[in-house]
Amino acid sequence: MVQKTPERSVNRMIEQATPLKNRLLNCMPLELQSRLIPKLKMMSLEQGSVVHEAGASLTHVYFPIDSIISLLHVLENGTTAEVSVIGNEGMIGVSVFMGGNNAQNQAIALTTGTVFQMSAIHFRDEFNQPDAVFRMLLLRYSQALITQMAQTVVCNRHHSIEQQLSRWLLMASDRLPHNDIIMTHELIASMLGVRREGITASAHKLKEVGAIDYHRGHIMIVDRIKLEKMSCECYLVVKRETDRLLPCHSVESPESVDTTSNWGSMISSGLHAKCISRV
Amino acid sequence: MVQKTPERSVNRMIEQATPLKNRLLNCMPLELQSRLIPKLKMMSLEQGSVVHEAGASLTHVYFPIDSIISLLHVLENGTTAEVSVIGNEGMIGVSVFMGGNNAQNQAIALTTGTVFQMSAIHFRDEFNQPDAVFRMLLLRYSQALITQMAQTVVCNRHHSIEQQLSRWLLMASDRLPHNDIIMTHELIASMLGVRREGITASAHKLKEVGAIDYHRGHIMIVDRIKLEKMSCECYLVVKRETDRLLPCHSVESPESVDTTSNWGSMISSGLHAKCISRV
DNA sequence: TCCTCTTTGTACGATAACGCACAGACGGAC
DNA sequence: GTCCGTCTGTGCGTTATCGTACAAAGAGGA
């Protein structure tokens, strides 16, 4: 399910990777970061691998680096819908500190990529420190997560598949270090909780107007502005609120203050290629 | 907008009302409760009154007693959808401690009823106490709130208006001290984000099968079991998780351990009628 | 008692999405 | 180069919900 990189090389990679290639971790003061680094293990995830099952008791939390992880709800009849999509701006496993400790939904990797893994015990230790920096930041992230879920509620209610697909592609793109969304229509359909044919039809239209291009499991954004226009307001609402709550300016990308910036590009530029060897 | 009861009588009422008629407050250790009581002000809300606007900076939090408050999202085009429904099991204003401090959605009272109001400053003081009891409980509640929102995402995607109406009525009933949901089809429609006619049609069917009865702005549940069968799984999923996260056994209603129990009945029985005079 | 406003009932065409079925096209394995 | 499994394209009847319009039935005030 979840594959591990040999530990020795991992630790060297993590040290080199400072500042940490996860926005949440990168927000933290440097001394906190250096306290966290020994507790982080870099791992690679295959597309489709299950990070945790629904109802599972969580033993670890995960900070995506260049992978996208989806919180997926599976109904009794087997149909699915994505509750939240999480990339380098966040983490998997908020219930570790929210309480209950049991995930309500399945977490599944949508792309092959890397994450930082941290044990729930270490994480809780840090969360309960009297120095509230870590806690405060995690709570702000939780608020961003809530915002995303709330917006998904209304988006599911009121917006067309075409709008939702546009939104979803923009969100995916923001979390990837390159402009190649390696996903089939089928996969996206199961995330949005619609038929594959619905995605095919909408994607076709987005291609016709020149917003995207795609080709057998690969989707590229060719005109981001156009795609944002095809999308509903939901994309920008969530993005703006997340930027407001986590205004972290990473060392190598001062332009991240710009709220219209692409988080993905923050990663693809700069140190990334040097520090993290893809597994 | 929000009406106040004269302060002197309020404080006397609150003292008599211990244990506090809000599940969240009632979960707390007694010494914590007595520390909180001086900071609580009881207020009445009219149906339709706005507790806070979308985007507002929150100056207070609210713990519903016998009223239902809805977090409502209003889209740019004016259409609406409910993100979450909150009653005596919870509170309004989690963003006061989550961070950001700005509510993303409008909070609106769906019923005329009473709430405890507490200033955001006092609330944050308590939340940041080194003794983490208050904080832990609030985080567990936030997790329950997240669960509700996540379930609403999938419910909006996959379930019929009839199922959603059933779920919604059950949730409303759980939060009311009596079996009289004083709401028009129009109001419920704006919460579910559907047409009024859709609610009328579904309500008609629920009435025909004998699950509910209704009459010009009043809805009564006549066969709860039947209504649960007409509902989707979403109702019980959220209820079970909330019960798991907030397993608070109030003094006067030991039967609240039963997960199928009606939270509303916890309130209607016992001290309630004596302690709280409706305004 | 009557009047008026609110609430609910009903109808009907339009539309978006569904379920199903199958064809065509690509691309990696051999 | 060929084969085969995967992915995308497309058609078609069905269904749920929408938008709009208007009628009927309370409920409360004059």
Q: Do A154 and B81 touch (CB under 8 A)?
A: yes
Which residues from A are below 8 Å from B104, CB to CB? 146-147, 150, 241
Q: Do B100 and A140 touch (CB under 8 A)?
A: yes
Q: What is the pLDDT of residue B248?
A: 74
Q: What is the pLDDT of residue A19?
A: 57
% residues pLDDT > 90 (chain B)? 78
Q: Do B145 and A146 touch (CB under 8 A)?
A: yes
* Phi and psi torsions of B214, nearest 5°: -155, 170
Which residues from A are below 8 Å from B147, CB to CB? 104
User: Would you say residue A131 has pLDDT above 90?
Assistant: no
Of all residues in chain A, the one with the smallest CA distance to B83 is A150
Q: What is the pLDDT of residue B13?
A: 52
The residue with tokens 């049991």 is A102
What are the residues of chain B with a beta carbon less than 8 Å away from any beta carbon of chain A? 71, 73, 75-76, 79, 81-84, 94-95, 97-100, 104-105, 128, 130, 132, 136, 139-140, 142-143, 145-147, 149-154, 156-158, 193, 233, 241, 244-245
Residue B195 Cβ under 7 A from any strand D atom: yes
User: Would you say residue A86 has pLDDT above 80?
Assistant: yes
* CATH architecture group of domain B3-131+266-275: Sandwich (2.60)
Q: What is the pLDDT of residue A263?
A: 40
- H helix count then E strand count, chain A: 13, 10
Residue A15 Cβ under 7 A from any strand D atom: no
The residue ranges of chain B whose pLDDT is under 70 are 1-19, 249-279
Mean pLDDT of A252-264: 36
Q: What is the pLDDT of residue A100?
A: 85
- Residue A257: other Cβ atoms inside 10 A: 10
The DSSP symbol for A56 reads P
| Nearest by CB: A130 against B81, B130, B241 | B130
Domain positions in chain A are 3-131+140-275
Of A243, A222, A104, A237, nearest in space to A159 by CA: A237
B278 three-class SS: coil
What are the residues of chain A with a beta carbon less than 8 Å away from any beta carbon of chain B? 71, 73, 75-76, 79, 81-84, 94-95, 97-100, 104-105, 128, 130, 132, 136, 139-140, 142-143, 145-147, 149-154, 156-158, 193, 233, 241, 244-245
| pLDDT tens-digit map of B240-252 | 999 999 987 544 4
| Nearest by CB: B98 against A79, A140, A151 | A140
Cis ω before B38 (30° cut-off from 0): no
Q: What is the pLDDT of residue A20?
A: 76
CA of A181 to C1' of C26 (A): 18
Q: What is the pLDDT of residue A13?
A: 52
Alpha-carbon torsion (B58, B61, B65, B68), positive or negative = positive
Q: Which residues pair with A69 in a beta bridge?
A: A86, A109
Q: What is the pLDDT of residue B4?
A: 42
String of DSSP letters for A66-115? S--EEEEEE-TTS-EEEEEEE-TTS-B-THHHHSS-B-SSEEEESSSEEE
CATH topology (fold) of A3-131+140-275: Jelly Rolls (2.60.120)
Which secondary structure element, helix H or strand E, spans residue B96, and what is its range? helix B95-98
Bases in strand D with any atom closer than 7 Å to a protein CB: 6-11, 16-21, 26-27
A266 three-class SS: helix
Mean pLDDT of chain A: 86
Q: What is the pLDDT of residue A268?
A: 30
Q: What is the pLDDT of residue A255?
A: 36
| Nearest by CB: A154 against B140, B193, B244 | B193
CA of A161 to C1' of C16 (A): 9
Nucleotide nearest to B199 (CA to C1'): C8
Q: What is the pLDDT of residue B262?
A: 40
Distances (CA, A) of B94 to A4, A117, B97, B106: 37, 28, 6, 13
String of DSSP letters for B105-168? SEEEESSSEEEEEEEHHHHHHHHT-SS-HHHHHHHHHHHHHHHHHHHHHHHHHH--HHHHHHHH
Output the pTM of the full model: 0.86
**Strand C CB shell (< 7 Å):** A 160-162, 193-195, 197-198, 215-216; B 184-186, 196-197, 200-201, 203-204, 214-217
Mean pLDDT of A8-15: 50
User: Would you say residue A273 has pLDDT above 50?
Assistant: no
